[in-house]
């Protein structure tokens, strides 16, 4: 999978020193201030007999003193060694040219288990979707390049139970309670455009309508997490915020919250193909706008009809079918799983990643068609995926979006992701058939006024997708045969499946909210947090970011012709948008 030229043996080679996994992890926690124990005490807590082969990516790079003594930049690896992830980056050696193939795409379907449908879809041309990827054939077919036939996400195949054995619950709880995002703002590690004051605590960061209190223009929204990678029971909590350009926030050059709210609603209508939405009370007389299009101006209006153009200082910009306006930004934090004193799950202050997207260029449906054609042409001629790197700005996904991200360093502080780490983002935000303008969460936002505000899983029921009858999560588990793509979340299997492997339909339908379905027990939350921390210490993100506890068994290490494709009856048409049945009938629609 990799060339050894950059790691050639030199005469004064320094051999990588491997330290006990538990000891080095606990040393990290000491440096982060998570325990009062000395390093000697912590090393005494390490389990004996641990095999270093299971965590060979943990190690120390040669010190500057060693390098100076050698009088040459040495590469302390030889043929057959397990090369640490950061060594590939340090020596500009591409580890995985097919990092755009996510780990989930190597799932064993056994011809019947289909997690693939949530990403890979082909839609009727009559819909005139800007997303023209049409990759529905990838459901259960391993249509990979020669390079992609080997699964490079080797963190999937590591059993981390021994690595986390030396970390107690109190220690990991103290670690995840730390606010590394605020710390990064103080050190200017995070660029200005990715800043929200007090982001680690939602109540302090946002008002009741979701607007950031620091006047940065960021607005949080409540959305149903995408199945199933973003379910807390599978490793992480998270949130999402949107920001529109300044002209969408102003009227006659002055900031106007009502105008901003209306433009956000128009974006939602454009992306979701909606004609009306509920909005916070609007004074049409003050704005001189007929928001509900009833032919008169009213003092108090709570419903908006879709218009051809945005409003306020953005009134010259037309709405585009299923597309965001140029300059739209998204901020998404991926966090550890918080557990309070009562065992409730919440978004922990500590962030694993801070992810950012900006639509730097608007591309029409016709322009996007040419980009999709170019992708298909490259694949046909067996060219490996190309990523355009923009230095500190991140990467260009080729479809008008700039993507950037920060991730924890060994000490738990947020650092800029390296080029190869960022290339991974294109796997979901470039050419996936089910996305809306290369994004996921906004199309799944709770509709209208109720959906503006910080994510709240207890406020969301398991509503079905459009054109579906049963709850989305219930349907997903029936089609997948488990509570995650890999069918190895034992807690979900025990909770929602019977002894014959069938979903407990009635139990799922009786749940009050998705919180009851997709959040883990405190014990599992602690274990997942610890498992991810081992990846942080290894800095082995190039090998995978999934916090699996044990070695994945329903995942292929290599693809060969013997792998059966999904049977036709196990392939599905699907739309990630949701049928929010609890929404009241539109008064505007009724009047019309």
Tokens representing residue 513 in the block: 């909210």
Domain extent for 269: 246-321
* pLDDT (mean) for 120-128: 95
Q: Would 216 be classed as within a structural domain? A: no
Give the pLDDT confidence of 568-589 residue by residue, as tens digits: 999 999 999 999 974 445 556 5
Average pLDDT over residues 333-346: 98
Is residue 205 assigned to a domain?
A: no
Chain-wide mean pLDDT for the chain? 88
Pair type for strands 414-416 and 401-408: antiparallel
pLDDT at site 525? 98
Nearest to 421 by CA among 404, 438, 398: 404
pLDDT-derived band at 562, boundaries 50, 70, 90: confident
Confidence of residue 510 (pLDDT cuts 50, 70, 90): very high
Domain assignment present for 487: no
pLDDT bucket at 80, cuts 50 / 70 / 90: low
Q: Which residue has the tokens 């709850």?
A: 471
Residue 352: inside a domain: no
Please indicate whether residue 564 or residue 196 has the higher confidence score (pLDDT): 196
Residues 6+ apart with CB under 8 A from 468: 475, 574, 579
pLDDT at 419: 95
pLDDT for the residue numbered 76: 54
What is the mean predicted confidence (pLDDT) over 115-141?
Answer: 95
Contacts of 554 (CB under 8 A, 6+ apart): 107, 108, 113, 486, 487, 488
Task: Over range 529-554, report the average pLDDT.
Answer: 96
Identify the pLDDT of residue 534. Answer: 97
Cα–Cα distance between 470 and 498 in angstroms, integer? 19
β-pairing, 237-243 with 329-339?
antiparallel
pLDDT number for residue 28: 41
Residue 482 near residue 488, CB atoms below 8 Å: yes
Asked whether residue 564 is domain-assigned, the answer is: no
DSSP 54-101: GGTT--BPPPHHHHHHHTS------TT----HHHHHHTT--S-TTTTS
pLDDT band at 560 (very low <50, low <70, confident <90, very high): confident
* Residue 221, phi then psi, degrees to nearest 5: -140, 150
Is it the case that residue 465 has pLDDT exceeding 60? yes
Span 266-290, average pLDDT: 98
Cβ contact 401:429 at 8 Å: yes
Least confident of 163-172, 262-271, 380-389: 380-389
State how far the Cα of 542 lies from the Cα of 294, in Å rounded to an integer.
Answer: 55
Determine contact, residues 369/360, Cβ cutoff 8 Å.
no
The confidence band for 75, taking pLDDT boundaries of 50, 70 and 90, is very low
In-domain check, residue 272: yes
- Residue 55 pLDDT grade (very low, low, confident, very high; cuts 50, 70, 90): very low
- Is there a domain that residue 266 lies in? yes
- C-alpha 453/C-alpha 212 separation (Å) is 10
Find the mean pLDDT for residues 216-239.
97
440 in a structural domain? no
Summarize pLDDT for 11-48 with one digit per residue, the tens. 232 223 333 334 434 444 444 444 444 333 333 333 33
Give pLDDT, residue 51: 33
Tell me the mean pLDDT in the region 267-294: 98
The more confidently predicted of residues 564 and 398 is 398
Domain count across the chain = 1
């Amino acid at each position: 999978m990799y060339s050894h030229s950059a790691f050639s043996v030199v005469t004064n080679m320094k051999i990588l020193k491997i330290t006990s996994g538990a000891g080095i992890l606990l040393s990290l926690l000491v440096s982060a201030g998570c325990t009062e124990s000395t390093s000697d005490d912590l090393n005494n807590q390490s389990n004996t007999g641990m095999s270093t082969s299971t965590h060979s990516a943990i190690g120390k790079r040669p010190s500057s003193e060693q390098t100076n003594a050698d009088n040459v930049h040495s590469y302390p690896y030889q043929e057959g060694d397990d090369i640490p992830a950061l060594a590939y980056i340090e020596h500009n050696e591409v580890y995985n040219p097919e990092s755009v193939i996510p780990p989930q795409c190597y799932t064993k379907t056994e011809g019947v288990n289909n997690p693939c449908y949530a990403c890979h879809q082909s839609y009727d041309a009559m819909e005139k979707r800007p997303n023209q990827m049409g990759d529905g054939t990838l459901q259960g077919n391993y249509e990979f390049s020669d390079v992609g036939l080997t699964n490079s996400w080797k963190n999937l195949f590591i059993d981390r139970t021994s690595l986390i054995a030396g970390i107690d619950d109190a220690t990991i709880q103290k670690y995840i309670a730390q606010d590394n995002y605020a710390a990064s703002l103080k050190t200017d590690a995070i660029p200005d455009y990715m800043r929200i004051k007090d982001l680690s605590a939602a109540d302090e960061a946002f008002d009741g309508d979701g607007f950031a209190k620091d006047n940065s223009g960021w607005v949080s929204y409540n959305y149903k997490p995408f199945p199933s990678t973003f379910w807390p029971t599978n490793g992480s909590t998270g949130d999402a915020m949107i920001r529109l350009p300044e002209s969408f926030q102003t009227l006659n050059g002055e900031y106007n919250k009502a105008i901003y709210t209306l433009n956000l609603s128009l974006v939602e209508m454009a992306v979701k193909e909606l004609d009306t939405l509920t909005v916070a009370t609007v004074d049409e007389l003050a704005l001189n706008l007929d928001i509900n299009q009833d032919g008169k101006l009213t003092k108090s209006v709570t419903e908006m009809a879709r218009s051809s153009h945005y409003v306020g200082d953005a009134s010259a910009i037309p709405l585009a079918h299923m597309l965001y306006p140029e300059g739209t930004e998204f901020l998404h934090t991926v966090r550890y799983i918080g557990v309070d004193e009562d065992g409730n799950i919440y978004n922990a202050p500590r962030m694993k990643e801070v992810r950012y997207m900006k639509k730097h260029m608007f591309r029409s449906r016709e322009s996007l068609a040419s980009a999709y054609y170019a992708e298909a042409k490259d694949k046909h001629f067996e060219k490996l995926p190309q990523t355009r790197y923009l230095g500190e700005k991140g990467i260009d996904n080729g479809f008008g979006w700039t993507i950037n991200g920060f991730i924890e360093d060994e000490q738990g502080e947020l650092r800029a992701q390296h080029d190869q780490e960022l290339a991974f983002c294109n796997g979901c935000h470039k050419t996936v058939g089910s996305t809306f303008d290369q994004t996921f969460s906004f199309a799944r936002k709770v509709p209208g006024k109720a959906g503006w505000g910080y994510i709240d899983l207890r406020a969301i029921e398991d509503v079905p997708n459009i054109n579906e009858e049963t709850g989305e999560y219930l349907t997903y588990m029936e089609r997948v045969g488990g509570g995650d793509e890999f069918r190895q979340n034992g807690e979900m299997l025990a909770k929602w499946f019977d002894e014959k492997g069938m979903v407990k339909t009635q139990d799922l339908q009786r749940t009050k909210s998705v919180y009851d379905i997709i959040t883990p027990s405190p014990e599992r939350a602690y274990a997942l947090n610890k498992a991810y921390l081992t990846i942080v210490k290894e800095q082995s993100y190039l090998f995978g970011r999934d916090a699996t506890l044990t070695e994945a068994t329903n995942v292929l290490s290599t693809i060969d012709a013997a792998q059966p494709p999904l049977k036709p009856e196990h392939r599905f048409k699907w739309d990630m948008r949701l049928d929010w049945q609890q929404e009241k009938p539109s008064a505007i629609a009724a009047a019309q």
